[in-house]
């Protein structure tokens, strides 16, 4: 077996019984073919995705925003969980005492079998009626006429957290509790630029957690991490899980 690129303390904690949290971002889904948020064909229809993921954009042009989200749903449905998603699910299943806290809305952690996913920014697979403020699951492949409307006539929107919108306080409180009580926090595939998600790793570190960043690049978190392992999540996470003595599912 290849020597593990991970520090012995990382392996000891991964092998141990104390709680582990995996904080993930778009980079975990990159190897499933889903472009990262900043790299999200950054030229989606000539626009910056972040300019489309706002309530102002939706109020201005709900049809355009719905075309963006319909495109993202189609890409996410066609994608398959990759070795990174499967490795985290395998670790949770065999080790226990583990949570995935994700910024992603694609649903791939859940499809990989992770059972206790905290979705900080909601999901593509739920809709909200803007008139009734009612949410419901919707996994349809074909959404039909856009922008989507509720039977009540109100505009439907994706049940995701847009820029400028608050996160669900209960979800954020649960995520903060998870990182405060974790012994090991794996920060995987995120540029650590969007708050409050990016504040979770510093909270964990102040509470005494061992912070391991897995990313091909450096990020604003890198110099605060106890360990930065350079590389792809789909390569490194299975190696971490195997080096910690657990079986890894094949992608």
For residues 46 and 153, which CB has a smaller minimum distance to ligand BV8 in the complex?
A: 46
Measured CA distances, 141 to 72, 81, 234 (Å): 11, 18, 27
Q: Mask of contacts with ligand BV8, 175-194, x by CB under 6 A?
A: --------------xxx-xx
20 burial (CB, 10 Å; 0-12 / 13-18 / 19+) is buried
When asked if residue 65 is in the footprint of ligand BV8 (CB under 6 A), the reply is no
Contact 156, 130 (CB under 8 A): yes
What is the side-by-side order of every strand in the sheet holding 156-160? 134-137, 122-129, 156-160
For residues 110 and 191, which CB has a smaller minimum distance to ligand BV8 in the complex?
A: 191
User: Is 121 part of the annotated catalytic residue set?
Assistant: yes
Strand-pairing partners, residue 119, are 102
C-alpha–C-alpha distance, residues 47 and 186, integer Å:
32
When asked if residue 165 is in the footprint of ligand BV8 (CB under 6 A), the reply is yes
When asked if residue 200 is in the footprint of ligand BV8 (CB under 6 A), the reply is no
For residues 41 and 165, which CB has a smaller minimum distance to ligand BV8 in the complex?
A: 165
When asked if residue 36 is in the footprint of ligand BV8 (CB under 6 A), the reply is yes
Total residues contacting ligand BV8 by CB under 6 A comes to 34
- With vertex at residue 188, the alpha carbon angle to CA 184 and CA 194, rounded to the nearest 5 degrees, is 105
Residue nearest to ligand BV8 (CB): 27
C-alpha–C-alpha distance, residues 184 and 166, integer Å:
27
When asked if residue 144 is in the footprint of ligand BV8 (CB under 6 A), the reply is no
For residues 110 and 190, which CB has a smaller minimum distance to ligand BV8 in the complex?
A: 190
> In this structure, what DSSP letter does residue 163 have?
T
Residues classed as catalytic: 121
Binding site for ligand BV8 (CB under 6 A): 25-27, 30-31, 36-39, 53, 103, 105, 121, 160-166, 189-191, 193-195, 197, 215-217, 219, 232-234
């Amino acid at each position: 077996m290849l020597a593990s690129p991970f520090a012995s303390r990382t392996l000891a904690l991964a092998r141990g019984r104390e709680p582990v949290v995996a904080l993930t971002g778009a980079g975990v889904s990159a190897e499933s073919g889903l472009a990262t948020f900043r790299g999200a064909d950054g030229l989606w229809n000539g626009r910056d995705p972040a300019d489309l993921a706002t309530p102002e954009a939706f109020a201005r042009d709900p049809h355009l925003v719905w075309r963006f989200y319909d495109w993202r749903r189609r890409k996410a449905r066609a994608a398959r969980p990759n070795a990174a998603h499967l490795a985290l699910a395998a670790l949770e299943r065999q080790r226990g005492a583990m949570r995935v806290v994700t910024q992603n809305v694609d649903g791939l952690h859940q499809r990989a079998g992770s059972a206790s996913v905290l979705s900080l920014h909601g999901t593509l697979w739920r809709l909200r009626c803007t008139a009734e403020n009612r949410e419901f699951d919707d996994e349809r492949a074909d959404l039909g006429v856009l922008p989507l409307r509720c039977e009540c006539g109100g505009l439907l929107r994706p049940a995701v957290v847009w820029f400028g919108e608050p996160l669900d306080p209960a979800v954020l409180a649960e995520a903060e509790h998870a990182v405060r009580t974790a012994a090991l926090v794996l920060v995987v595939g995120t540029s650590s630029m969007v708050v409050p998600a990016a504040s979770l790793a510093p909270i964990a570190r102040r509470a005494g957690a061992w912070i391991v960043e897995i990313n091909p690049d450096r990020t604003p978190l890198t110099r605060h991490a106890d360990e930065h392992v350079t590389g792809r999540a789909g390569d490194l996470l299975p190696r971490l899980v195997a080096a910690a003595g657990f079986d890894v599912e094949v992608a």
